[in-house]
Amino acid sequence: MLMKQYAIDISDIKIKDEEFLTDQFFKHAEVAKESICIEGKNKDGIINFFGTLHYNLLNKLAVFEMQGFDQTAQHELS
């Protein structure tokens, strides 16, 4: 829903430090949390969403709790 609100296509989403997070998930499959940054691109530029990912791999459940975001306009990227 968050990505739809900002008109971001799923193929234009990148979780920063995804390899590190994947390692952490498999080390702590029970309920845990990690601070993450999700980067999304749309026609206006890049949006970084900052927050906490709460997850439980045993129940295949994850919830992203957003704490903030910043946006870089397309003209600033050139």
Looking at residue 78, its pLDDT comes to 62
Over residues 11-25, the mean pLDDT reads 82
| Average pLDDT score over the chain | 84
Tokens of 29: 């499959």
Q: Which domain does 67 fall in, by range?
A: 31-78
Q: Is the pLDDT of residue 34 over 80?
A: yes
Residue 20: inside a domain, yes or no?
Answer: no
Residue 43 counted as domain residue: yes
How confident is the model at residue 61, as a pLDDT?
Answer: 87
Longest dimension (CA), the chain: 44
Instruction: State the pTM of this model.
Output: 0.77
Residue 57 lies in a domain: yes
The pLDDT assigned to 29 comes to 66
Q: Average of pLDDT values for 18-31?
A: 75
